[in-house]
Structure 1
Amino acid sequence: MSRRRTLTGTLLSTTAALALVAGASPALAHSPQPSTERDIARAQVAAGVPVPVFASPNVELVAAFPETLGISGVFGISSPHFYMSTTDSISAFNVRNPSLPVLTDTIVIANFENESMTYGERVINGKLRKFILVGIDLVKASPTEEPQHVNVGGGEMIIIDVTDPNDIKQVGRVSDVPNSTHTVACAKETACRYAYTAGSRGKYSIIDLTNLSAPKVLKTLRSPASRENELFVRGAGHKWNFDNAGYGLHTGSGGTAIFDVVDPKNPKVVQATNFQGTAPMWNDFIHHNTMRPNASRFRAFSPPSVANGNVALITEEDYFNDGEEVLCEEAGTIQSWYIPNLNGAAYRSNNPNLDPDKGAIRPLDMFNPVTEQGQPVGAFCSAHWFDYHSSGILAQGFYQGGTQFIDVRDPRNLKSFGFFRSAATETWDAYWVPQRDSAGRSTGRQTNLVYAV
């Protein structure tokens, strides 16, 4: 108990407050699993009836407002707004007071899955344009579109202009992407001209956003991360995460790969996971998403430390493989991997075919904190999306395992820092609320509030 109080002080407050934004049911790689108990609990929340809440002493619920099957969200950078995607709409919220989000506009768009909505902005003709990239991989339809613009099957990305948060609207689309658009990410959020797709079958695409009204596929390239493993026999990429040192980390069924993206039109792979990147236990399903904190501090062969920028924090999502993943101790984990070097010339020379499992990135630890807290109702508790706090604490969704806070300061010993879960929700995503200056711009640091979707 005294240890937890000491750690809490690093979160800028004596209490790690949680703002619960929305509930959802499991995603693509996520076929929904109905839960009568959970549906009843959601209805009770909507009616103002208290439902069971389980939380560690250092986490408290600040606010809750049910949404319709929330899937993903993202904070704006240059203004205090939060954007959320559900199965039937995309909404903008003013979060100048982050404990009291105010809805500003909604665009009706039936969309699955848009699992990781990406924010981007760029100065165009002297004006700052703000927009959201929405990846479509199953279905998308809008009441304002002609029937031929209804997508079933994926390979599409749309652009939602959010420059005016009171009037958000679709302004562009590309529908001929030759690989998975399960997620799409800006190579640089504050100057977003190029975006990378999740990819599949060993490839991914770069989308040119020079003209927001007419985005186009610039080129399609290879990545070991979107290569095959035992379950994904054709290969599936999943997410690009870009760090502050000019690198992009690509996760997928083939493990994790790192690319030099200083020239975002011509990325070069520089390193990837070793044989354990597709091995049982470390990747039973898919490497889902990753972050490399403090990337600018990287020095080759320095001791593994999050502070040294040589640790990749990776979600291994696993809720469907050999059937045992309904048990939390068999479900997907949060993992830490050591990056010894970024010698791209050597990596490419030794692996010209960009096969998976040929890199030097090796695992340090894995952890599923839900196993310490008892089996949740529904028994669906794989690790999912997370966000990193500069204090060294992750906020992460674990589906019916709720929102988990994980201490990653020692990458060889990942451990629980706190948790929150409710009978009314599942958590897909968790986002630290950013600190902002007097003009509402993000400072790059975080508050002690978390939005859980």
Structure 2
Amino acid sequence: MISAKLRGAVSVAAMLLLTAACAGGPSASGEPASSDTSQQETSAPGGRSPSGDGVTTSDNIKQVAQVPRTAPFDGRDDINTDLAFQGDYAFQGNFGGFAIYDISDPKNPKTVTQVACPGQQNDVSIYRNLLILSVDEPVSGPECDADDDEPAWEGLRIFDVSDKASPRYVGAVATDCGSHTHTMVPAGETLYVYVSSPGPEPESRTCPPPHELIQIVEIPMGAPQSARVVAKPDIFPERQHDEMLSGCHDITAYPEKKLAAAACFGDGVLLDIADPVRPKVLQQLTDTENFSIWHSATFNNDATKVVFSDELGGGGQATCDRNTPRTKGANAVYDLVNGKLELRGYFKIDREQQQDENCVAHNGSLIPVPGKDVMVQAWYQGGVSVWDFTDSSAPKEIGFFERGPHEPPTIAGSWSAYYYNGYIYSSDIMEGLDVLEIDDPLTNPAKKVKMDDFNVQTQKSY
């Protein structure tokens, strides 16, 4: 979801794009015939079966647990955000701070602690004993007791979570325009963190123009309190764009392949990260016809494909309806051929949502099925979708989990949906943490794959 500081600009851009789309505008010039979505299959097998409490699922998915929001994270503005995993623990960001859950029994997760540390976004990642939070709105200072009286700081907060019941704040790094999301690139005893943030904001103390860059933070594992920005590479040397929307939304790194894919406000970028401090641009993609906000990227396991997602409307609009073309607010599947990305097809859920249900492609991850390309993904109030893109030109949905419209109407639904050690975990903005289980011949081989940890922006092979 985009930050409040750019939501107005995005809403205007999104409405203009929707208006053009509904008028029957053409798709991006030069698309291959295989990107025609008329062949897309999206119906999950077995139809729908009610699962109680307004929940609807395909018959191969069931909800096995839910942890509702509780104080101090149960206010209207305390929305749940991203997830990370390590061993028997799940870490969940929230605009009010972060929570740690014991998931040693996935069907009976238990809250270990909730740390009050307000900050817009608060996307979370975990590496060894360090937890990192992204803060994307200025506050008075880096500590958790900062307020909004003199907004002069935004960026990364760092915690030591060696004791899961008692996390300890150890430091912070201020970054230009804050940190909307961040991506870890480990290098021995040094952890590099790529910071993605939207901007600029004219007359802002923390986000002045120009903002044509990402930022790279160096965190020494032995002295995380001395973390600092070590590089600000400009990865848009040839970019032409709207000055209201600059910077990147999300970067996914695949360190063992020495690749990263950056989803930025107007572009998708393929990067060589052999030198993590000096990423090199391999290819820029621009699709102003079909994509509004290049939101996130996912490599397949062998790094021969990249899925880019479009967050049309910034996560606050109902774009899963019959009036929005299937190539917008969707996923675009690219094959990596001879070092270059080539568009093959699109995927978007076909379950039409109501006009007060915010719905668009959002955070997801691979389900580790050897030899196949399968992904689970959050769609806000469109719920959780499991889809197969092994055939890049004909992706299809194979399962789903969905709640009815939130009452009263508000921004709601699944922010992130990730697969970890046999189960799907969904961070629901208003409902808490959902645990789902999928029983399907296609995905069942993934249950044999065990991960020690999982941060979606830092991919590892399986």
Equivalent runs, 1:337-352 vs 2, <5 Å? 337-342=334-339
2:342 equivalent to 1:362: yes
Q: Is the contact between residue 258 and residue 272 of structure 1 (CA under 8 Å) also seen in structure 2? A: yes
2:32 equivalent to 1:51: no
Equivalent runs, 1:161-310 vs 2, <5 Å? 161-175=160-174, 177-188=175-186, 193-200=191-198, 201-210=211-220, 211-224=223-236, 227=239, 229-230=241-242, 233-243=244-254, 244-273=256-285, 277-281=286-290, 283=291, 285-295=292-302, 309-310=303-304
2:451 equivalent to 1:442: yes
1:89 pairs with one of 93, 97, 122: 97
Structure 1, gaps ≥5 residues long: 1-24, 34-48, 122-129, 296-308, 343-359, 447-453
Q: Is the contact between residue 393 and residue 417 of structure 1 (CA under 8 Å) also seen in structure 2? A: no
What is the match of residue 362 of structure 2?
A: 384
Distance 1:341 1:429 in 2: 32
Q: Structure 1 residues 233, 202: closer, same or farther in 2, change over 3 A?
A: same
Q: Structure 1 residues 225, 111: closer, same or farther in 2, change over 3 A?
A: farther
SS at match of 1:213: helix
> What is the CA distance between 1:255 and its match in structure 2?
1.8
Distance 1:376 1:365 in 2: 26
Query: What's the CA shift string for 1:228-255, capped at 9, x where partnerless?
Result: 535x645231111111312121111232
Distance 2:329 2:378 in 1: 11
Distance 2:172 2:238 in 1: 24
Distance 1:380 1:197 in 2: 27
Q: Is the contact between residue 197 and residue 248 of structure 2 (CA under 8 Å) also seen in structure 1? A: yes
1:109 pairs with one of 109, 117, 140: 117
Q: Is the contact between residue 142 and residue 150 of structure 1 (CA under 8 Å) also seen in structure 2? A: no
Query: What's the CA shift string for 1:127-172, capped at 9, x where partnerless?
Result: xxx1122111115579975658987376411112212211112111
What is the match of residue 80 of structure 1?
A: 88
SS at match of 1:111: coil
Q: Is the contact between residue 136 and residue 177 of structure 2 (CA under 8 Å) also seen in structure 1? A: no
2:310 pairs with one of 313, 316, 324: 316
Q: Is the contact between residue 141 and residue 147 of structure 2 (CA under 8 Å) also seen in structure 1? A: no
Distance 1:441 1:101 in 2: 18
Distance 1:143 1:242 in 2: 26
2:429 equivalent to 1:432: no
> What is the CA distance between 1:30 and its match in structure 2?
6.0
2:384 pairs with one of 394, 398, 403: 403
Q: Is the contact between residue 259 and residue 271 of structure 1 (CA under 8 Å) also seen in structure 2? A: yes
Read off the aligned partner of 2:186 and give its amino acid letter: K
> What is the CA distance between 1:332 and its match in structure 2?
0.5
Aligned-pair RMSD on alpha carbons? 3.5
Q: Structure 1 residues 96, 70: closer, same or farther in 2, change over 3 A?
A: farther
> What is the CA distance between 1:257 and its match in structure 2?
1.4
Q: Is the contact between residue 320 and residue 352 of structure 2 (CA under 8 Å) also seen in structure 1? A: no
Distance 1:332 1:286 in 2: 9
Read off the aligned partner of 2:81 and give its amino acid letter: S
Structure 2, gaps ≥5 residues long: 12-50, 199-210, 407-411, 424-448, 456-462
Q: Structure 1 residues 182, 144: closer, same or farther in 2, change over 3 A?
A: closer
Query: What's the CA shift string for 1:6-62, capped at 9, x where partnerless?
Result: xxxxxxxxxxxxxxxxxxx9865668x9xxxxxxxxxxxxxxx95311111111111
What is the match of residue 118 of structure 1?
A: 125
Q: Is the contact between residue 387 and residue 399 of structure 2 (CA under 8 Å) also seen in structure 1? A: yes
SS at match of 1:421: strand
Q: Is the contact between residue 251 and residue 263 of structure 2 (CA under 8 Å) also seen in structure 1? A: yes
> What is the CA distance between 1:90 and its match in structure 2?
0.9
Distance 1:109 1:184 in 2: 18
TM-score (norm: length of structure 1): 0.69
Q: Structure 1 residues 95, 151: closer, same or farther in 2, change over 3 A?
A: farther
What is the match of residue 439 of structure 2?
A: none
> What is the CA distance between 1:444 and its match in structure 2?
7.5
Q: Is the contact between residue 293 and residue 314 of structure 2 (CA under 8 Å) also seen in structure 1? A: no
Q: Is the contact between residue 159 and residue 167 of structure 2 (CA under 8 Å) also seen in structure 1? A: yes
SS at match of 1:319: helix
TM-score (norm: length of structure 2): 0.68
When the two structures are aligned, how many residues end up with a matched partner?
353
Q: Structure 1 residues 381, 191: closer, same or farther in 2, change over 3 A?
A: farther
SS at match of 2:131: strand
Distance 1:199 1:320 in 2: 14
What is the match of residue 412 of structure 1?
A: 393
> What is the CA distance between 1:109 and its match in structure 2?
1.0
Q: Structure 1 residues 320, 263: closer, same or farther in 2, change over 3 A?
A: closer
Q: Is the contact between residue 120 and residue 136 of structure 2 (CA under 8 Å) also seen in structure 1? A: yes
Query: What's the CA shift string for 1:353-412, capped at 9, x where partnerless?
Result: xxxxxxx4232111211xx22324623211011111122321111111111111111111
Distance 1:422 1:429 in 2: 15
Q: Structure 1 residues 104, 411: closer, same or farther in 2, change over 3 A?
A: same
Distance 2:419 2:182 in 1: 21
Distance 1:225 1:132 in 2: 33
> What is the CA distance between 1:71 and its match in structure 2?
2.8
Q: Is the contact between residue 137 and residue 156 of structure 1 (CA under 8 Å) also seen in structure 2? A: yes
Read off the aligned partner of 1:393 and give its amino acid letter: V
Structure with the bigger RCO (C-alpha within 8 Å, sep 6+) is 2
SS at match of 1:257: strand
